[in-house]
Structure 1
């Protein structure tokens, strides 16, 4: 890169109160084959990309056992183990993948499945303890209390350091908090999709990291005149503007933009250096 490592220009967030992570992370959903199925077509390129992630000063990588399935975790370990000091890897469990695409998945929040999923992730990531383990989805067929009790037990056994939720509402978080301290919540959220605003507000109040997936809109970037005007003022792309808005919008937001392009990876990281003004934020907030 032609400037300082952009990932280091943001104030670190203390994940779980004790794990400092730079506020621009990396989402590893896209590093597997099409439809989250199988290995990538160009394995050496993906391994090089993951190594570049670490070189750029990114200290938080998000993955899940369903990516591949299992391929995402294997690739991260192959590229980066032994892990650089300070690198935090978060993974997720609770979804079984049996075919490509979302239609090829089912939820399983039973303690039996989560036991197998957690130990599988530990093995593939070559870790004795996972820094952040998130429940990928609540399984409506399993009482939430039963799922949460298992996760609390796994934490008490030292298998995970911190626990989080994905696709959760405020009531889900409050119920989980009866069993363990919720370190993170990962919901869909971006400049262009703010349905999870009440969840973000509760997380901020509680000191919980809010990890927006599809932080640039999941490929559906809406280049309105207003967005383009603000981006032009700062001479940045709309992608960079969308990431910068997240970083300015709330101090507990940890965006995890994902890409398989080295150029896009470096472009995303430069977003941390974009300083938006109060006028910029007023104009962008008005999009909601």
Structure 2
């Protein structure tokens, strides 16, 4: 049975070698992604264990907490060793655990957001800074111009986008090199397949958030049956499918549990045959 080969790493921006199984640090904060977690030491231990297991890409955002996730990452991992890359995002604002999330991609806000992230992460330059959302209240060109200037000033090494269309990416590419795109995507939810294909053609990293989300009953049954045959969880199989589906996909499953983290990391070793991929692709 022929097994499709899976690349273990991706060269982000042409110069940062990233292990494709990363870690998303949204869930290390308090409930509803607000405030400090009940046990901050547990979050620190999860981050440290992720790096021990070979993770060298941590994804976060200033809005997680807000600010808490970045603070805990620095406390757990600074000074950053083992080629650990922290990618963060700016451009969203929240005012409470149940409050609506508001766009703010104005240069004034992004200046404060970027400087705050640098300070909290204890960095002089952020390796990957992603615009969390394009702000409908601000012309995209103004936002992109600000990000390009911040990159020229040396505060940012590489730039990425989140929740964007192919047209959005092409517009941004007129202002700076786009090295990553972070859109909602999973084996169940392939709305952004065209964006994934464009990113693959352009050698842009595609970072799916909610990588096991969605849920189509017929496909869920297939996933469940295959997971049982392979003696893995459905969650692990959904992650393995992403790694096999396109070699520019970087995974950032998040958890506040060391046991769950270790389970996620094992998904990188699951082998899927061409026939099994076709079964799930159907």
TM-score (norm 2): 0.95
Match for residue 110 of structure 1?
106
Unaligned 5+ residue runs, structure 1? 1-8
Match of 1:216 among 212, 215, 219: 212
1:104 alignment partner, SS class:
coil
Match for residue 119 of structure 1?
115
Matched, 1:254 2:250: yes
Counterpart-to-counterpart distance in 2, 1:52 and 1:183: 27
The Cα shift of 1:100 comes to 1.1
Deviates more, 1:129-138 or 1:104-113: 104-113
Q: How does 1:189-200 map to 2 (within 5 A)?
A: 189-200=185-196
Match for residue 94 of structure 1?
91
The Cα shift of 1:233 comes to 2.5
- Post-superposition CA distance 1:172-208 (Å, at most 9, x none): 0000000000000000000111111011011001100
1:31 alignment partner, SS class:
coil
Q: Does the aligned pair in 1 maintain the 2:7–2:247 contact within 8 Å?
A: no
Number of positions where the alignment pairs a residue of Structure 1 with one of Structure 2: 276
Match for residue 3 of structure 1?
none
Q: Does the aligned pair in 2 maintain the 1:190–1:216 contact within 8 Å?
A: yes
Counterpart-to-counterpart distance in 2, 1:154 and 1:265: 34
The Cα shift of 1:237 comes to 0.7
Counterpart-to-counterpart distance in 1, 2:162 and 2:222: 31
Match of 1:69 among 33, 58, 66: 66
Q: Does the aligned pair in 2 maintain the 1:10–1:272 contact within 8 Å?
A: no
Q: How does 1:231-246 map to 2 (within 5 A)?
A: 231-246=227-242
Counterpart-to-counterpart distance in 1, 2:168 and 2:38: 38
Unaligned 5+ residue runs, structure 2? 1-5
The Cα shift of 1:10 comes to 4.8
2:208 alignment partner, SS class:
coil
Counterpart-to-counterpart distance in 2, 1:230 and 1:29: 29
2:20 alignment partner, SS class:
coil
Match for residue 171 of structure 1?
167
Counterpart-to-counterpart distance in 2, 1:110 and 1:166: 16
2:157 alignment partner, SS class:
strand
Q: Does the aligned pair in 2 maintain the 1:132–1:162 contact within 8 Å?
A: yes
Match for residue 25 of structure 1?
22
Counterpart-to-counterpart distance in 2, 1:178 and 1:39: 39
Deviant stretches of 4+, over 3 Å = 220-223
The Cα shift of 1:83 comes to 0.8
Q: How does 1:30-45 map to 2 (within 5 A)?
A: 30-45=27-42
Deviates more, 1:131-140 or 1:209-218: 209-218
1:29 alignment partner, SS class:
coil
CA 1:92/1:221 → structure 2, altered by over 3 Å: closer, same or farther? farther
How large is the RMSD of aligned CA atoms in angstroms?
1.4
Counterpart-to-counterpart distance in 1, 2:110 and 2:205: 23
The Cα shift of 1:85 comes to 2.9
